Amino acid sequence: MDTRRFLITGGSQGIGAALVSLARAQGHEVVFTGRDQARIDQVAAESGAVGLQADVAVADDNRRTVEAAVGRMGGIDVLVNNAGVGYLAEVGDIDMERMRALFDINVFGLVDLTNRVAPLLKAQQSGYVFNIASTSGMKGAKTGTVYAASKWAVRGLSQCWQAELRPHGVHVTCVCPSEVQTDWMGRTGRNNPNKLYAVDVAETIMAALAMHGRALWPELAIFANNPWKED
C-alpha cells in the first residue's frame, strides 16, 4: 500500500486511537483530533502522530483541523469520521437538548468536516472517506432512538456521498461495528473478552484500503464471531 495521509476524528481513544496506531505502524502520516488533551498527548507520544484538540461540533475547529492537516501533510488522502457520542433514553423521556447535542457531533459535525475535505479529494481525483456508523444504525432497539437515528443518518448520507464522489475517484465506505470494548458513554469493562476490540475495526479499515482502487466496499458490518462464549 502506498503511503497515505490520514485525518482521523475521535482519535484519542477507542477505535480512533487503535486506527491511529495501526496506520502509523504501517508508515502512514496521521493527524488526529480529540477533546481530551491528556489523551491526545498520550496517543501522539505513543504513535508519533500529530494530535489536535478539536470538537467536530464546532465549525471553527473543523476549519482549523483541515488547515492544520493540509499544512502538516500537504493534503489528505483518507478521512475517517470516527468521533461520536452516545445517549440512551426511551421515547417519552428523551431530553431534546441532549439529542440535538448528539446530532451536532454524530451527524452535523461529520457533515461539516467532510464538506471541507471533499473538495480536496475531488481536486486530486482520489481519496477515501470512512464513516463510522454502527449496527445500531441497521436495527433499532429499546432506548436507542437518539443514537440509532444518528447512525441511520450516517448510513444514508454515506450512500449519497458514494453517488456524488465515485465519479471523482473517491471511495466512501460506511463501517458498522457491533459492540466494541471501548470506553463508551463512560462505561469501561462492560463487555466480555470475546466481543470486538477496537483494533478489529481498525484492521478492517486498513484491509479495505489495501483493496485495489477499482473496487468499492460501500458498507460493511463487523460482528464478534462468538460473543456468547464464556471463558
Burial class (CB in 10 A: 0-12, 13-18, 19+), 141: exposed
Catalytic, 128? Answer no
Instruction: Find the DSSP H helices in the chain.
Output: 14-25, 37-47, 59-73, 96-103, 110-124, 145-165, 198-210
- Alpha-carbon distance 121 to 127, whole Å? 5
Name the nearest CA neighbour of 151 among 87, 98, 197. Answer: 87
Distant-in-sequence, close-in-space partners of 203: CB < 8 Å, separation ≥ 6: 22
Q: What is the DSSP letter of 107?
A: I
Place of cell 458514494: 162
- Are 170 and 214 spatial neighbours (Cβ–Cβ below 8 Å)? no
The grid cell for 79 is: 478521512
The set of catalytic residues is 147
